[in-house]
Structure 1
């Protein structure tokens, strides 16, 4: 456990160095590149592609998480409980189709570029956040709810001051799962001309350049690990705060 912060710092530093100064790593990748072909992807800056990749993920996951959380709040209220099956059906809809199928269906409607990928990531992000939000809101201790009512809180005050803060750790775990899935899935968006690290992988496959494939794949995996770790730290902090709140 004591080594974890050092491993985390080393990974973050290594990824930042590779994104900003990829030529430093060319000697390591040179054996993987065919003779006469570039070792480091040179059709776009890796830093720009990384930012585009993360931008697509953030642009899709934020509205997806907001919608899933709103649905969870709705169906955990007495007035909206009857919509629970519909909410779960909507959340599961995105998991029904493979990402490639979503891209294929979206391209004729919105064209090539970032939009088909955003749609696929949005749909894929709904279910984990929805299910975790439902579990978190449903798992608020009954004694805490009664105490909030005894203090004279309105339903809205109880939601914002009690239920959401206590459900937050599980909700962050849902966002964590959705974001990691989105980082991996966003790579296939390059098949429909969405900017991102998938562009490097596809270029490597087309040119039979394993160096491109490795750097695109490793960067995508490293981003997923970093985001998974960062959101895990956030969830852990919220769990610690929840224990203090419930104990108080």
Structure 2
């Protein structure tokens, strides 16, 4: 029963989220007390479902690009030929953590203009570090006996990487991706300050009109998405860890 309770809570949260995005007016009575007289309780300047999908797409694209670059760098620096590039690689992936996302947006807008592009750049840079560090950890802490056995069977370096090392390191790499996605889901809201279509639009509209219901809607949707996606990645990591024996 105790194990089933968290699953029921997640399913309930997911069902409520979908219902709110598809039929937000059903929740108007709950939010009406939070607004002033005659003010709308449900965001009415666009589709919440469309904004949510756009928000998720932005996070997915940025995280995918960050994953490709970060894992590629981790593979490079864990090979004998690329070990000397570790300090340079660490400096590159730390760029996103050095500058706040708002500063990255401010620097990117004059170069690429307003819209989704500066937001993608900020999220990409911000997501590199956790994926890189976890990928490097996963690839450098593999059981030496398994790696030596793969080498002893005559596998090439590419075969060892794709058939042994990456599958074994995948749970640890996924942990880094999970952290990156969670950070990006929250950070993407600031993209609306440079005309990107994210759930930040709802929050900004609420702040501008002093509408607490709008702010709450945008914040709660992002929070529930972050929790559900975090849990989904965690479950996948556990499954893969058991499968490769890295519990």
TM-score interval, smaller chain: over 0.9
1:186-205 per-residue CA deviation (whole Å, 9 max, x = no partner) reads 00110111101100000000
Tell me the CA shift for residue 233 of structure 1: 1.1
Which residue of 90, 110, 113 maps to 1:108? 110
Structure 2: distance between partners of 1:26 and 1:144: 58
| Aligned alpha-carbon RMSD (Å) | 1.1
Which residue of 225, 229, 232 maps to 2:231? 229
Instruction: Look up the match of 1:142.
Output: 144
Correspondence list, 1:98-177, <5 A: 98-177=100-179
Tell me the CA shift for residue 82 of structure 1: 0.3
Structure 1: distance between partners of 2:242 and 2:124: 30
Tell me the CA shift for residue 8 of structure 1: 1.2
Tell me the CA shift for residue 2 of structure 1: 2.6
Structure 2: distance between partners of 1:32 and 1:60: 35
Correspondence list, 1:54-133, <5 A: 54-133=56-135
**Runs of 4+ residues deviating >6 angstroms:** none
Correspondence list, 1:11-90, <5 A: 11-90=13-92
Tell me the CA shift for residue 213 of structure 1: 0.3
Structure 1: distance between partners of 2:74 and 2:152: 25
Instruction: Look up the match of 2:243.
Output: 241
Structure 2: distance between partners of 1:104 and 1:133: 30
Instruction: Look up the match of 2:196.
Output: 194
Tell me the CA shift for residue 108 of structure 1: 0.8
Tell me the CA shift for residue 3 of structure 1: 1.2
Count of paired positions: 245
Structure 2: distance between partners of 1:225 and 1:168: 21
Structure 2: distance between partners of 1:58 and 1:34: 37
TM-score relative to the length of structure 1: 0.97
